[in-house]
Structure 1
């Protein structure tokens, strides 16, 4: 779902600890991030197939994705005897609401745009996180930060250029999703600074997302769960959860900048899967816009 550094955001909503400086830890951090990027790209594939093969809509796909995480994380935390109570319900609500809206938008974008474009627009959250850190937190931007922001928005302008065969509404929605995700990631950092554990932040996000997506799916109608679509439903939940866990481990043991840079392999995987499985083709301007945005995201991870 990717990917500012965890100290300031969750594509890793788990906000893990500082990376291990030793070489072995760095290797495993990089290895975990490659697998995490592959997992998130496969999640996009399952989402795309669910919409194309079974006409499943955004709300039910989102519901199955977050319900799976809610059940697994909630069940595991309950077995471990963790305390679900929080002294910051309001902060959790606003973080979870922003994340839920962004997720719904993002899944709509995946269903209506090429995988590479959808994945790239999702990654604009890193750009917006940097911008919001300047506006809201009054952080003084470094020259690298300014360069990252300028490059990012140049890339967005290239990618969102009007075209006869492009879904402009979906592209704009993807950009809005990135902006809202950037705000949600900012809230995760604030909750982490308040001492909230990572699992509780993710749990309440999953809980509110499940309620919102579930109510919308009930209103618009659930597709019957069959032996044909069940593997895709399970695939969405499993790849999302594995991607999240691997991403968390990557930031825990790897070098932050290297791991953040490798997270953009998700865009590469999305391009390959789009060409291979869906026959998607991107023109050179789209590829240029994607490249500029990815470069911007890599710079944003450089501190």
Structure 2
């Protein structure tokens, strides 16, 4: 069915699914860090959470490679290492922020990463960002800033972890785009998660404490959900320019709000609803403008 759709629409659908799955990983990371799965209520260290994310994602992708036995091309080691270091750093910082600050605040700050990615796409990928894309990104960013609630509580120290994560993730988006045009998605996923597993394992050794069975289950769910999100993200990036698809990733906000409600009984207030509506307006503006330009 997907082959009948335009590349832009297919890219949007893949990114929407990736955003939904990424919102799920945020909830899982928060519950692991806050000790929801722990018998004594003590959460896992963020390095262990990152380890779970990479370890189980690597097991899933390694099993897939063993079954399919695809032919891999030459590895671009420096690009893969840079992407994996950015990915591990960004996700670890994001998990740290999720543990210590409210999920809507962390998500709002993290939505700054499309701005960083659009800026990086200009010199690195040579992409041209037209006025409609800037407008759509600007509208979405305005919604994220509303959700940030620029008050004293919003500027707690942990918020800087989310800000650093947004910048690093924006850079990683560009590296993924460069890799996706040169190598098959399965090779990108396998290499990234193999390197990430090594980095995460080394970091976790310094803080390791035996997880409870439920925590192992939570880490497994986190890793498997993340690998599915990565696959959808790469498929989206292969079908459109980075500056086009990154704005669609902002749809993870309403997904996260719904999951936050079901997991923590957190009810969004009017500011949250207004911010989410503005973000969705920006995404819809981009979608309809691109579809109209494609049809003319």
Give the TM-score category using the shorter length. Answer: 0.7 to 0.9
- 1:74-103, CA deviations, whole angstroms, 9 ceiling, x for partnerless residues? 232134333456341111111221122111
Stretches of structure 1 that go unaligned for 5 or more consecutive residues are 1-18
From 168, 171, 193, give the equivalent of 1:206.
193
Contact preservation (8 Å) 2:189, 2:231: no
TM-score, structure 2 length as denominator?
0.76
Q: Which residue of 2 aligns with 1:112?
A: 100
Q: What is residue 6 of structure 1 aligned with on the other side?
A: none
d(CA) in 2 for partners of 1:153, 1:262: 12
Tell me how large the CA RMSD over aligned residues is. 3.7
In the aligned structure 1, how far is the partner of 2:58 from the partner of 2:177?
Answer: 21
Q: Tell me if 1:239 matches 2:225.
A: yes
Write the distance in 2 (CA, Å) between the matches of 1:135 and 1:257. 12
Q: Is the 8 A contact 2:118 2:243 kept in 1?
A: no
Per-residue deviation, residues 198-255 of structure 1 (Å, max 9, x unmatched): 1122222212222222222111x223132232322222123223444456678899xx
In 1, Cα distance between equivalents of 2:155 and 2:273: 16
Answering whether residue 26 of structure 2 is matched by residue 44 of structure 1, we say yes
| TM-score (normalised: structure 1) | 0.75
Q: Secondary structure of the residue that 1:132 maps to in structure 2?
A: helix
Decide whether the 8 Å contact of 1:98 with 1:180 is kept in 2.
yes
Residues in 2 aligned to 1:192 and 1:275: alpha-carbon distance in whole angstroms: 35
Contact 1:127 1:296 in 2 (8 A): no
For residue 69 of structure 2, give the secondary structure of its aligned residue in structure 1.
Answer: coil
Name the SS for the 2:34 alignment partner: helix
The match for 1:216 is 203
Name the SS for the 2:127 alignment partner: coil
Mapping 1:245-256, distance limit 5 Å: 245=231
More helix by share: 2
1:117–1:290 contact (8 Å) kept in structure 2:
no
- Show structure 2 runs of 5+ residues with no match: 291-296
Note if contact 2:144-2:275 (Cα within 8 Å) is conserved in structure 1: yes
The answer (yes or no) to whether the contact 2:125–2:174 under 8 Å persists in 1 is: no
Question: Structure 1 residues 34, 131: CA separation in 2 closer, same or farther (over 3 Å shift)?
Answer: closer
Q: Are the aligned partners of 2:251 and 2:280 in contact in 1 as well (CA < 8 Å)?
A: no
